[in-house]
Amino acid sequence: MALQILVTGGTGYIGSHTVVELQNAGYKVVIVDDLSNSSIDVLDNIEKITGIKPIFEQLNLVDAERTGALFRKYPDLQAIIHFAASKAVGESVQIPLHYYRNNLVSLMNLLDGQRKYGVANIVFSSSCTVYGQPEVLPVTEQTPRKDAESPYGNTKRISEDILNDSIRAYPELRGIALRYFNPIGAHESALIGELPLGVPQNLVPFITQTAAGLRDELKVFGNDYDTPDGSAIRDYINVVDLAKAHVVAIERLLNKKNKAKYEVFNLGTGEGLSVLQVVKGFEKATGVELNYKIVDRRPGDIEKIWADTTYANQELGWKAEKGLEETLLSAWNWEKRVRGIQ
C-alpha cells in the first residue's frame, strides 16, 4: 500500500507542486489547508497533471482539537511536509500577532499530534530569510542565522528552534528543515503556479502580471546596491526543482538515511542573479518587453544572497536543474493561462 504523506498548505504554490511530485513518486497524499491564501480548484488541476485527486481536509491547524482529529482520521500517516503558514513579509509587520499565532501554534499542534499518534517524520518549509544579510557569500548551512527583518522571518527562525528542540527532547521525532532561497516559475503544464492574492509582493509574479497588462509597470526597488548593475541579488530556484527536493527529504527520513535527528539544507541554485538580470531574462525568454522603472529601495530588503549548494547536492544527491529562462517562460505560460491570454 502506498505510503501516506500529510502535506499542510498543499493547495499553495510550493505545496501544490510538491504534491504533484509526491504523487509522481507513488505516495498517497492528504492535503490539509485552510484555503486562506489558495483556491480549492488546485485539487482538480493536480488531478489533471497526475491523474490522482489528493484527499483534502479544510482546516486551520491553529485549532488543536481539529488537528488532533485529523491524526485520528488518518492513522496511516508516515510523514508530514509542513508548508502551511502566513508568508507575506510586509503584511507580517502590520499584523505580527496573526503571524506568530498562525505560524507557531500550527507547528506546535502538528508536533503534539505527531507525538501522540506516532508520526515520526516531518519536513519543514523554512527560508533563507533566517540568514538576514549574510556577511560572507555564498551561504552555507553553517552561516549564522541573524535577527529577522520581519515577524514573518522571525516565525521561520523560531519554528526551526521549536522543531530542533522538540526533536532533541522527544526520541520519537526526526525532521529536516529546508531553507528555500527564492522559488519562482510554474509547472510545465501551466495548470498550477503562483497566484498571489491582490498586488504581488514577489518579483516574478509582479513581472508576469505587468507583462499581462494587469500592472502598468514593474518598480525595480533600487539600483544603488553594491552589485554589478546596482540592483539586488537573489538565488532564484525553479519551484519544480524545489518540489523534487522535498520528495528526496521525505525519502531520506522514511529510509532512515538521515545522519542526525534534525538536519538543515539550503535549497538554491548556487547562482546569484540581480533584479535587472531577471527582467532581461524574462524579456529574452518570452519576447515580451517589460515596462519597468527604477525606484527607491524597499525597506527591509537585503542587498544580496545566494546559496552554497554543496551540502544539499552531496548529502541529498539533489541539484536544481532548470535554468532561469526556462523557469521564467513557465511563469509566463502560467500567467497567460490564468488570464486567458493566447
- Return the residue of 67, 129, 155, 227 that touches ligand WQD, per CB under 6 A: 129
Least distance to ligand WQD, CB of residue 51, Å: 29
- Return the residue of 5, 220, 253, 307 that touches ligand WQD, per CB under 6 A: 220
- The residue assigned the cell 508576469 is 208
Q: Does residue number 298 form part of the binding site for ligand WQD (CB under 6 A)? A: yes
- Return the residue of 109, 143, 159, 182 that touches ligand WQD, per CB under 6 A: 182
Q: Where are the beta strands (DSSP E) in 152-297?
A: 174-180, 182-184, 218-221, 233-234, 236-238, 262-267, 273-274, 292-295
Going residue by residue from 239 to 278, which x/- string records binding to ligand WQD, judged by CB under 6 A?
A: ------------------------------------x---
- Return the residue of 164, 301, 323, 336 that touches ligand WQD, per CB under 6 A: 301
Binding to ligand WQD (CB under 6 A) within 102-121 occurs at none
Number of residues in contact with ligand WQD under rule CB under 6 A? 18
Element (H, E) at 6: strand 4-8
- C-beta separation of 240 from 21 below 8 A: yes
- C-beta separation of 231 from 275 below 8 A: yes
Q: Does residue number 201 form part of the binding site for ligand WQD (CB under 6 A)? A: yes
Residue type, 37: N
Give the whole-angstrom CA distance, residue 230 versus residue 245.
32
Where in the sequence numbering do the catalytic residues fall? 152
- Return the residue of 232, 264, 276, 312 that touches ligand WQD, per CB under 6 A: 232
> Which of 18, 8, 6, 11 shows the shortest CA–CA distance to 37?
11
Least distance to ligand WQD, CB of residue 290, Å: 11
Q: Which is nearer to ligand WQD, 301 or 315 (CB)?
A: 301
Q: Please state the length of the chain.
A: 342
Least distance to ligand WQD, CB of residue 180, Å: 6
Q: Which is nearer to ligand WQD, 145 or 261 (CB)?
A: 145
Beta 121-127 vs 218-221: how paired, if at all? unpaired
Binding to ligand WQD (CB under 6 A) within 45-84 occurs at none
Q: Does residue number 223 form part of the binding site for ligand WQD (CB under 6 A)? A: no
Q: Does residue number 211 form part of the binding site for ligand WQD (CB under 6 A)? A: no
Cell of 30: 492528504
Least distance to ligand WQD, CB of residue 298, Å: 5
Residue type, 297: R
Q: Which is nearer to ligand WQD, 15 or 113 (CB)?
A: 15
Return the ∠ at Cα 323 (arms to 311 and 258), rounded to 5°.
25
- The residue assigned the cell 553594491 is 226
Q: DSSP letters of 265-299? A: EEES-S--EEHHHHHHHHHHHH-PPP-EEEEPPPT
Contact residues toward ligand WQD (CB under 6 A) are 87, 89, 127, 129, 182, 201-203, 206, 218-221, 232, 234, 275, 298, 301
